Chains A and B, each alone.
Chain A
Amino acid sequence: MSSTGRKIALLASLALACCAAALRPPAGVAGAGSDAIRIPYESYTLPNGLTVILSADHTTPTVAVNVWYHVGSKNELPGRTGFAHLFEHIMFTGSGHVPYGLHDKLTEGIGGSNNGTTSNDRTTYFETVPSNYLESSLWIESDRMGFLLDKLDLAKLNAQRDIVKNERRQGVDNQPYGRVNEILSHATYPPSHPYSWDVIGSMEDLSAASEDDVKNFFRLYYAPNNAFLAIAGDFDPAQAKAWVAEYFGDVPRGKPVTRPSAPPVTLSSEQRLVYEDKVQVPRLYVQWPTVGEKDDDHYALEVLGAVLTGPRTARLTKALVYDQQAAANVSAYQGSNEDVGEFSLMIIPRPDHSLTELETAADAVIDKLKSEGPTADEIRKALAGQELSFLRGLESNLGKAMQLCDSAGFHGNAGYFRTDYQKYQAVTAADVKRVADKYLTRGRIDLSVVPTGKLDQASKPAESKKVVIDKMPRPEVQR
């Protein structure tokens, strides 16, 4: 999942730290088991459609508020790529009754924190505050849900546009290998597919966004019927319910949201690409289109990633980095979005080892796995760490609030995290063999990133087509 946000923040750890459990066996019982995979919560829906999820836990005297809108870059219109994320920035510029700056003062300024992130599928806004500041957090979140446009003007839009362009410069254009995501998305999906562009969007489209775009987007997607509110931590549920009703109850319901059609894709043949970048070390990226959260195959694909790379005993890591000593690093993982997913492999060569050699070596390992499947021991090792990850996620009130919203927003059930855990734990060696066979086919993208002027360092350079960013197919502008 590609995700980008208001501030520089290390959210990866939060995203990875899935959350659950609270009712646990007495201390000293070895292994908490799947009974520990629990977050006590209650969920209800306001008449205006807002889903509310409350999870009280008084261990740490802080409270996290997460407001999750079911809108992301896949809802953007052609010619307006990057708009969902630009909009996220505008949500921090003040609203009808909350002057600019007060939000930060009532979060960071009292020892808390706030941020927002945008992915292809959803946009989420959150704060963690000392527990006596819950009411002001709900006041702020409800005001921007209900009254953002009261204080919107072109100057605000332009200011955030500049900042987002800076974000793109810093995070994409000025980073070695920074264009890889864009190139792979463009190559994997047809130009009309809503996952064919990246969350950050293009400079050109960011320039084109208008005040009317902001208003229309807000009215359609930022309505309570498209939103999920989670409160986790040290609070009194009865008081929280009263405040939620008071602050969010009168925000009007919006029109029903039509979700874009974004089915998983397959590639009929292999596409070989080479991109010249300001780097010193070449890299090979291989990407297979797979499936997203809606298809249970993503569990086995995630386990496949853990069987292939990570610890030194994982198959590709062992072969390429340890036994052959041809790669400095190799990583493979399934990235799951709501509708689609990709299985991605990245190889960094050691000097005197070509990308061609490494691609061949990696394919041999993958082919062997496809033919024999993983051992039961490999599966056991891949699954063993999940319980600890869940439990560590529970240490963060914000982590819990995010997990509950993701479960409710993507799966219609705030308790889905437990199903998710069980499905992952249920993956077998046969499942992994099956998905490796089904998805890791010749229908894939091979992208070599090479130092400028060193096209010959690509994997199979003669068969690889040079990528020119300005000539990448773009979604057709329809207005």
Chain B
Amino acid sequence: MKPKNLQWNSARMLPGVFVLLALVSFPLMSQQTLDRSRVPPPGKPPVLRVPTWTKTTLANGAELIVSEKHDLPLVSFSLTILGGANQFEREDRRGLAGIAASMMSEGTKTRDGEALSNALQLLGTSIGVSVGGESGVISFVSTTGKFGATLDIMADMLGNSTFPADALERIRAQRLVALTQAKAQPASIAGRVFPKVLYGTAHPYGQSVTEESYKAITRDDVVAFCKDYFQPGRALITVTGDVNPAAVKATVDKALASWPKGGTKPQFSYPPLPSPRPATIYIVDKPGAASSTFAIGNPGPPRSTPDYYAIQVMNTMLGGLFQSRLNANIREEKGYSYGVSSSFSYGRGPGPFRTGGDVQSAKTDAALVEFMKELRGIEGTRPVTDEELATAKDALVQRLPGTFASVAGINGALAGLWMQGLPDNYYQQYGKAIAAVTKEDVVRVARQYIDLEHLDIVIVGDRASIEGPLKATGIAPIVVLDIEGNPK
């Protein structure tokens, strides 16, 4: 394949010969022998370039942010709605928001589903519609030249969708099959059971889609949801890329001229959390499983917590990086896993702290011992070193440029500020806020937000082989759950 690399049949030549050759060929190279034991120092740090943007309001009340980036002929568009399934979906209709989002692509008054699909294929792009727990988004990325035409289709979907009944039946059937498939997938099982255990069924964070909730959804539900949900009073439009802000304002105004005023930003009020129970191990039996899937944690703070920066630094040390304490120990040192990590999922409400990963079945008990050791460690039994603290801070601050590399990345960052109510200078002050975090802060927030006395430990695995050893660790009593998270 690459003959020019193979024509030198000189495998026996001594390395020194090549040093000489290299010197001859590359006069820039230092004449001194390279000292490979010296770690090359970094150069002068690049300046952080935070995107700038303009912000206006459309006549119907929707906010519009435009950020210019002209290096490539690309445009990213997002219409973000504040609030999601947790605010706009009935408890007995879990899954409605997701199905309603899919129904937005099923046809408009002038284009049926196939016509929509054909038009977008010819524009070389697609329009995504999704609704999550606390926000929803209609978005696309197009080339600069196709932006206007794609925006017009987006506006048609937003204003003129017809929600055909037969499409609802097809989407429902597809989602029921996906739900059944997920019941065989360990990570999906853990993903359903863990929040249910943490938050209980009375809290939206603990509720998930079921066959019953899917089956209860009617076309009237879909139509009512979309009408109520997609309203400009709670919408932010972000456009990033190879555009001119004034021209975008005019284009968007025109495309969305018939989107009627209405809607307000929702309150994010959640019911109280269940009262804490003593730490418990919940086993979900997966007979013969080769690995045990761990999800350990507790409800955490909302994104608005003043401890956000300290928690980020603490979690980075604990389980945010490859060489963080958890992975360095459980994967690299002990060899129990292919990878473990930890995270806080911040939202407007008390999103979970979660740590875990997949562990080989025979090491389930031993791995749990190590998870607990590291959690105690970050809470004080293993002091934070200067190097750990510095690395965590560097990792968090210096990754920012990567966030702004793509038009979709910038759009996501800007919409994120708006959704979480963060200030416009958030990224400018971020480095300073991270720098201010102390070792004492790290231990304090670990103790405050990781509650070892009341930890929920969900393990999806082969009960027959793991229950005895887990019991013998004495870490916590064991409760066996079915794959829906109900006691067996």
Contacts and interface: CB of A to CB of B under 8 A. Distances in A.
Do A and B share a complex?
A: yes
Nearest to B363: A166
A396 B71 CA distance: 12
Contact of B399 (A112, A321, A328): A112
A131 interface: yes
B279 interface: no
A392 B406 contact: yes
B2 A409 contact: yes
Interface residues of B, number: 108
A351 interface: yes
A321 B25 CA distance: 62
A159 B36 contact: no
Given A47-B21, A61-B49, A252-B13, A385 B291 contact: no
A48 B177 contact: no
A423 interface: no
B35 to A, nearest CB: 9
B165 interface: no
A385 B49 contact: no
A367 interface: no
Interface in A143-172: 143, 147, 159, 162-163, 165-167, 169-171
Contacts of A96: 36
Given A135-B43, A166-B291, A385-B124, A259 B1 contact: yes
Contact of B45 (A130, A252, A384): A130
A110 B29 contact: no
Contact of B121 (A62, A138, A163, A381): A381
A391 B401 contact: no
A319 B154 CA distance: 26
B73 A36 contact: yes
Nearest to B71: A59
A342 B173 CA distance: 30
Interface string B109-137: 00001100110111111100000000000
A32 B331 contact: no
A49 B180 contact: no
Range of interface residues on chain A? 35 or more
Interface stretch (B81-89, B183-191, B220-228, B296-304): B183-191
Nearest to B188: A176
B472 interface: no
Contacts of B65: none
A350 interface: yes
Interface string A9-51: 0000000000001001101111110001000000001111101
From B30, B177, B321, name the one whose CB has the most chain A CB atoms within 10 angstroms.
Answer: B177
Contacts of B122: 380-381, 384
Nearest to B331: A163
B178 A328 contact: yes
A279 interface: yes
A32 B124 CA distance: 12
Given A135-B42, A234-B46, A396-B406, 10 more contacts: A29-B145, A48-B18, A60-B401, A96-B36, A170-B337, A174-B293, A225-B8, A249-B19, A249-B23, A384-B121
Q: Which 6 pairs from chain A and chain B are nearest by CB?
A: A111-B398, A249-B22, A30-B145, A61-B46, A162-B335, A245-B26
19 contacts: A47-B22, A47-B25, A108-B322, A109-B323, A111-B398, A133-B43, A167-B338, A169-B338, A170-B290, A250-B18, A250-B19, A253-B18, A255-B11, A278-B184, A281-B184, A313-B117, A328-B174, A351-B176, A412-B3
Interface of A: 7-8, 21, 24-25, 27-32, 36, 45-49, 51, 57, 59-62, 70, 96-97, 101-102, 104-106, 108-112, 128, 130-136, 138-139, 143, 147, 159, 162-163, 165-167, 169-171, 173-176, 225-226, 234, 238, 241-242, 245-247, 249-257, 259, 278-281, 311-313, 318, 321-322, 325, 328-329, 338, 348-351, 380-381, 384-388, 391-392, 394-397, 408-412
